[in-house]
Amino acid sequence: MAMGKVRYWAAAKEAAGVAEEPFEAVTLGELMTKITRNRSELARVVQRCSFLVDGSPVGKRPHGEVILGEGATVEVLPPFAGG
C-alpha cells in the first residue's frame, strides 16, 4: 500500500474542503473510492476531472490499472474554462 498526497484544484478543492490530504492506496481507482466515500459532491466533481500522477497525465487509462508508487502525488484537475 503506497502512501502519498492528493491535491485538489478549483471545484475539486471546494468539494473536498481541503487543498490536499494524505492517502494510502495501491491504485488510482482505490484512491478515488476512498476520497469520495461520504463526500457526494466530491464524487460528482471527480467524474469530470482529469488526473496527474507525479506530473504525468493518466489520460483514458482505467483508474484500477494506474499503480501509485510510494510518495506519489495525485493532482485532481476539474475542467478549466469550460474545457
* pLDDT per 10-residue tile (average), the chain, 83 residues: 95 97 98 97 96 97 97 94 51
Cα(43)–Cα(41) distance, integer angstroms: 5
Cell of 13: 478543492
Q: Is the four-CA dihedral 17, 18, 20, 26 of positive or negative sign? A: negative
Quote the pLDDT of residue 81: 54
**Residue 82 has what pLDDT?**
52
- What are φ and ψ of residue 37, in 5° steps? -60, 125
pLDDT at residue 11, as a whole number:
95
| pLDDT at residue number 75 | 98
> For the structural domain made of 2-77, what CATH number should be given?
3.10.20.30
Cβ atoms within 10 Å, residue 44:
12
Please check whether residue 80 is in contact with residue 10, taking contact to mean a CB–CB distance below 8 angstroms: yes
Each domain of the chain, given as residue ranges in start order, spans 2-77
